[in-house]
Amino acid sequence: GAGVSQSPRYKVAKRGQDVALRCDPISGHVSLFWYQQALGQGPEFLTYFQNEAQLDKSGLPSDRFFAERPEGSVSTLKIQRTQQEDSAVYLCASSLRDRGHEQYFGPGTRLTVT
């Protein structure tokens, strides 16, 4: 079956532009996570959805970051007024609620802010 997909795979934005990153989780997966991975670092948690409810957004670095999952499937991570420090790979992961420990990751979107 299809895994987690993310689009675009690569995004170059000029500083100050808004960007939107899309995640298509595995069908039927209730839980969805966003992580940010800076160069040479491990992924860092941004936010978590259970169905359409955003239950944890403690990792979002500023109010320029916004995530939504309006129908409990596809999710979008939006970054407003991008800054150079936003350059990173953004990873999406999904899991079955009752097997929440096994998260399946997408390939990521590499964002470069120039």
List of residues contacting other proteins (CB under 8 A) = 4, 31, 33, 35, 40-45, 48, 55-56, 59, 91, 93, 95, 100-108
CB of 15 to other proteins, least distance (A): 25
Q: In terms of CB distance, is 5 or 80 closer to other proteins?
A: 5
CB of 16 to other proteins, least distance (A): 28
Angle at 69 between CA 42 and CA 99, to 5 degrees: 60
Q: In terms of CB distance, is 17 or 44 closer to other proteins?
A: 44
Q: In terms of CB distance, is 66 or 104 closer to other proteins?
A: 104
d(CA 13, CA 5): 21
Phi, psi of 72 (to 5 degrees): 75, 15
Burial label for 104, CB within 10 Å (0-12, 13-18, 19+), is middle
